Homo-oligomer: A and B are copies of this chain.
Amino acid sequence: MPGAKETVAVIGLGAMGFGMARSLLRHGFTVVGFDPSATAVGRLSAVGGHAVDSPATAAQAAAIVVSVVINAAQTEQVLFGPEGAAEAMPPDAVFLSSATMDPAFARSFGERLQATGRHYLDAPISGGPLRAEAGTLTVMASGSPIAFAKARPALAAVATQVYELGATLGTGAAFKMINQLLAGVHIAAACEAISFAAKQRLDLNKVYEVITASAGNSWMFENRVPHVLAGDYHALSAVEIFVKDLGIVQDMARQERFPVPLAAAALQMFLAAAGAGMGGDDDSSLARIYAQLSQTVLPNRQK
């Protein structure tokens, strides 16, 4: 159809994938989507996308396949599992992999796919569901010039900031892991600090005001501490996300014989929160673990 935009397949229609699908629809792309959840595919149909029953079916007519699943294992299934996308994709299509993963997996998946003639973009995303829906994500991507050329229109529909980090597969994934190392440590530090302030009965709103204007500030302190001040632990980003991501950091670092004592300490606190039953709650719940371990009273929404 002359003038019409290409078809994009979105595999994985959770909060992030669905938001990206909507952004693509809004930019005039035809969107075909797959998710194992009937609720998720129903939601796509309701906004004008086409729901199908496997990654292979979704990929058949797609110029771009966007994979928005949780980890490397799911990405491998999407590509190479039964009814996987790899062999179903048109010969010159590009696979855009956005799950956070060890760079070694990104390299491996990319090489396997490229051996079939298709293109692979190692393209982790950053920003939550709201930014996915608004089309204002950040993407840290690496891949061949031709993969970038093919993916750029779709990337422009979902992201306002696309870092093009060269041709080496794994570089996008590696940048994302550096960001996640810092983000995870900073969440744990923010929860440690605000709970320690509560233990000393300091005025926590004042602590927030002073720290966000001082050298102790971080993006995560500024973003997460308001959840603690409000006593609202409804998940905007769940504890389990950083159990996963700091777990990947640990695996990479162990493999490279690189000590990461800060990331290791932070992971233990995320594990404690998940182990205490808060895995699905907001990651600011680490403050509740510190409070439990010290008989500290935090602000409580119910009061």
Which A residues form the contact surface with B (CB < 8 A)? Answer: 103, 126-127, 138, 140, 161, 163, 165-166, 171, 174-175, 178-183, 185-186, 188-190, 192-193, 195-197, 199-200, 202-203, 206-207, 209-211, 213-221, 223, 253, 256-266, 268-269, 290, 293-294, 296
Contact = CB atoms under 8 A, between A and B. Distances in A.
A216 B219 contact: yes
Contacts of A185: 185, 189, 192, 262
Contacts of A179: 210-211, 214-216
A163 B140 CA distance: 39
Contacts of A127: 215
Nearest to A188: B262
B294 A202 contact: no
Contact of A189 (B203, B219, B262, B296): B262
A266 B262 contact: yes
A161 B215 CA distance: 13
Contacts of A293: 258-259
A241 to B, nearest CB: 12
A218 B182 contact: yes
Nearest to A126: B214
Given A165-B206, A186-B189, A262-B266, 6 more contacts: A175-B206, A179-B216, A188-B261, A214-B219, A217-B219, A261-B268
Contacts of A200: 103, 174, 256
**For the complex of A and B, 7 pairs with smallest distance between CB atoms:** A182-B216, A218-B218, A179-B216, A265-B265, A185-B189, A261-B265, A258-B294
A176 B263 CA distance: 24
21 contacts: A163-B206, A174-B197, A174-B200, A174-B202, A175-B207, A178-B196, A178-B211, A181-B216, A182-B190, A182-B217, A182-B218, A182-B221, A183-B215, A185-B189, A186-B189, A192-B262, A192-B263, A215-B219, A215-B220, A218-B218, A261-B269
